[in-house]
Structure 1
Amino acid sequence: MIELKSQIQKIKLVTVLGAGAWGSALADLVKLNGYQVRLWSRRSELTLPKALEDTEIVVSAISMKGVQDVVSVVQSCPIAPQTILVTATKGLDPQTNTTPSQIWQNAFPHHPVVVLSGPNLSKEIQMQLPAATVVSSINHDAATVVQLVFSSHRFRVYTNPDPVGVELGGTLKNVIAIAAGVCDGLQLGTNAKAALVTRGLTEMVRIGTVLGAKTETFYGLSGLGDLLATCNSPLSRNYQVGYQLALGKTLDQIMTNLPGTAEGVNTCQVLMQIAQQQNISIPITEQVYRLLQGEVTPKQGLDELMLRDIKPEYHH
């Protein structure tokens, strides 16, 4: 405990990689707690080696497609062995099917890696509305340090010992959020949406446990909590993709006008690869995939889900 206290007292500087809405929101939270913050992006004048100089915590809030490149550059920078690496990216690498934390941990096997994920719509956090999140690591002390650095009266941070589950909760729900957007765009009502989100959670658990996550994590903030936020908010980019597809727009049109990245589009493709390899049943994800590929209309995708063989709710 004494060692942990001294580790927390040593934290002076936090570097946030990614100056989009999410990275800026995280930087603001840390700044309000009195820490010095460096915010880096590809467009900033600050070089990456300079941004990482003397930092105690590195927070990665870049989109999935940029993670591998940024990790490679960070590897060539001199960072202290006790520097904590925090990943706040939600997605899966299409080449390797790995999560962002796995990419960071493979590159930095001796550094503590912490996952930060939860129902955290960045616009609401920037408006200083109350929110909660989860930080998780196999290194409990590192997670506790990150918890204390981010916690405030408007941002409540919980720790969790299942980093794989915490990370996958935030990643898998993006696909269900696209389906929820379709549901609202087609004006199918509250009953349909409740059924969709509930069965979506079942699907998340099914994939997540195969990939090594604990079931109970999906019923927490980083699973169910994030699912509810993303499936019910027009602020969610993934929800917007589904909603606008239901209104008849093409995926290209939507993606061109969308501010930021809708990670669920890429995640959906990776999940289909994993499901085929592992023989996992993911009917909602499958229909979202077919919709994104232009193989079905939103109405046809819904009909396919409703006309599936009837079965028990749970398999014992």
Structure 2
Amino acid sequence: MNDVTASGSRGSSRFPKTLAIIGAGVWGTTLGHLASLNGHQVRLWSRSRDRSLKETIHGAQIILSAVSMKGVPAVVSQVQSLELAPEAIVVTATKGLDPQTTCTPSQLWQKGFPQNPVVVLAGPNLSKEIQQGLPAATAVASRDPSAAEQVQEVFASPSFRVYTNSDPLGVELGGTLKNVMAIASGVCDGLNLGTNAKAALLTRGLAEIIRIGTHWGAQTETFYGLSGLGDLLATCNSPLSRNYQVGYQLARGKTLADILPSLEGTAEGVNTTGVLIQRANHHGISMPISYQVHRLLESHITPESAVEALMLRDIKPE
């Protein structure tokens, strides 16, 4: 089946829209189901489906990309070769960084479609909980307030609260960089380091995210919102998080080569960490937790040694 359908609408929109969702993984399918329940027509596309990408996006008012980071440049290029209405809204729900340019997904989409509004969707959104109908909230951010409000209307429901935001870069970086901290958090729990260590890790991890995020051009207050602190708390405390599982299983003695194939989807934090350290080194920004996560993923250090290296850093004011 190429489309998402629902047996009934829980509050159909007065102005139903057609959504083309690129990427039929767990997150793309979940978002499609939310929109379908609100009475919108949803078309799903992936490389394994019969319908062509051209047919999928034809006439769609909203194009939502939920592919993994490594697939974003190719998908942007493919969509560029097709007709996209100038008023069509592009929504990106991918959390990652491009290793070639260190750009975020929304920056790649905006470069490819400078005339179209681009909206970032990110927040503490574990797909399996949303599929179960458990309450959740997210942020939709854009420089175009009208585009953000339209996307808000498409997905908002009694069980899924959607907030608009005017800082798309901050929302996107919050959702992306917390994946690095989720790996560290998994290590913390895998080594049974306790609640004190976990609290310190998340607090200092948020400081790192804010440090590089504001240098990038994002607003500080955004990182205390849903896609920053909210997503950090959800991802760093849930075994449902793929990035958390990477850290946890590394701490339990498994190798990255063993862990990644067993995950349901992509642990974006693995690739994000390398790009983040590349950018941090280029700009001279201190990222001690991220640096140790990077060394761990590169097999240059053990989980225990990574913790020791953080604890033995020079003492200084908070």
**Same fold? TM cut 0.5:** yes
SS of 1:256's equivalent in the other structure is helix
Q: Give the distance between the partners of 2:124 and 2:143, measured in 1 at CA.
A: 22
**Equivalent residue for 1:252, pick from 235, 257, 260:** 257
Equivalent residue, structure 1, for 2:165: 160
Give, in angstroms, the shift of residue 79 of structure 1.
1.6
Equivalent residue, structure 2, for 1:213: 218
Equivalent residue, structure 1, for 2:36: 31
- What do residues 132-189 of structure 1 show as CA deviations (whole Å, max 9, x unaligned)? 0000000010000101111000000001110000000000000000000000000001
Q: CA RMSD in A?
A: 0.9
SS of 1:223's equivalent in the other structure is helix
Q: Give the distance between the partners of 1:112 and 1:10, measured in 2 at CA.
A: 19
**Equivalent residue for 2:139, pick from 127, 134, 147:** 134
- What do residues 35-81 of structure 1 show as CA deviations (whole Å, max 9, x unaligned)? 01001111111100000011100111110000000111101111211
**Equivalent residue for 2:269, pick from 264, 276, 279:** 264
Q: Give the distance between the partners of 1:192 and 1:302, measured in 2 at CA.
A: 10
Give, in angstroms, the shift of residue 10 of structure 1.
5.1
Q: Give the distance between the partners of 2:208 and 2:80, measured in 1 at CA.
A: 36
Equivalent residue, structure 2, for 1:191: 196
Equivalent residue, structure 1, for 2:67: 62
Q: Give the distance between the partners of 1:22 and 1:312, measured in 2 at CA.
A: 41
Moved over 4 A (4+): 8-11
Equivalent residue, structure 1, for 2:233: 228
Q: Give the distance between the partners of 1:257 and 1:119, measured in 2 at CA.
A: 23
Are 1:284 and 2:284 an aligned pair? no
Q: Give the distance between the partners of 2:92 and 2:290, measured in 1 at CA.
A: 25
Task: State the number of aligned residues.
Answer: 306
Equivalent residue, structure 1, for 2:105: 100
Equivalent residue, structure 1, for 2:125: 120
Q: Give the distance between the partners of 1:219 and 1:257, measured in 2 at CA.
A: 32
- What do residues 93-114 of structure 1 show as CA deviations (whole Å, max 9, x unaligned)? 0000000000000000000000
Equivalent residue, structure 2, for 1:3: none
Give, in angstroms, the shift of residue 11 of structure 1.
4.5
Q: Give the distance between the partners of 1:11 and 1:281, measured in 2 at CA.
A: 47
Give, in angstroms, the shift of residue 12 of structure 1.
2.3
Give, in angstroms, the shift of residue 256 of structure 1.
1.8
Q: Give the distance between the partners of 1:208 and 1:300, measured in 2 at CA.
A: 27
Equivalent residue, structure 1, for 2:91: 86
Q: Give the distance between the partners of 1:114 and 1:60, measured in 2 at CA.
A: 10
